[in-house]
Amino acid sequence: MVFSGNDIHYPGQTNHDACFIPESVRQYADEPLYIIVAHWCLLQQNWVQRNQIAEAFHITARRASYLIAYLRSKTSRVVSICRHQTLPNKARRYEIYVIRVLDSPTPSTRREKAGPPPVSKRRVGNGDRSMANELWNRLCSNRNAGKILKKKEDEDDGT
């Protein structure tokens, strides 16, 4: 099957295959695939299963399942509800109903990267992680570290 250039979606990630974009959502071709799928689900105005997504976008059912899971977790851009059906073999089949797809935030509304994370109050001691790693690596590289420490303690006790 041959598609024209704007029918195919080439994802930004190199580990993802290209896929077909249905005509009804081609205006969103510059968006990530999960947003294109969300718009398509919204147009269905009904519960959508992975097989329907797989058929519409010419992708595998497994990849369609991953997209449904991603849509469920991307609540910042996609407003949806999800339900599952338990099959006789105890597997769960999820269906998604997309209520709304939000526009991507403009660059001015995005938060700037914050500084370093605050120091955890649960950690004990005042050493930082790099010092602890250096100490650990030194101990691991010296097989006799335990014997040396024990010998030093014995000498200190003897004097």
CATH of the domain at 40: 1.10.10.10
At 13 the pLDDT is 56
Total of domains in the chain: 2
109 in a structural domain: no
Q: What's the whole-model pTM score?
A: 0.59
Answer yes or no: do 133 and 94 share one domain. Answer: no
pLDDT digits (tens, 9 = 90+) for 63-102: 999 999 999 888 888 999 999 888 899 888 889 999 999 9
At 97 the pLDDT is 94
At 56 the pLDDT is 92
Answer yes or no: do 10 and 77 share one domain. Answer: yes
At 2 the pLDDT is 40
Q: For 113-146, b where at least 16 C-beta lie within 10 A, e where not — what string?
A: eeeeeeeeeeeeeeeeeeeeeeeeeeeeeeeeee
Q: What percentage of the chain reaches a pLDDT higher than 70?
A: 67
Please report how many Cα atoms fall inside a 13 Å half-sphere around the Cα of residue 91, on the Cβ side.
3
141 in a structural domain: yes
Between residues 28 and 145, the one the model is more confident about: 28
At 3 the pLDDT is 45
Q: Which residues pair with 9 in a beta bridge?
A: 19
pLDDT digits (tens, 9 = 90+) for 1-37: 444 555 666 655 555 677 888 889 988 888 888 899 9
Which residue range forms the structural domain that includes residue 21? Answer: 5-101
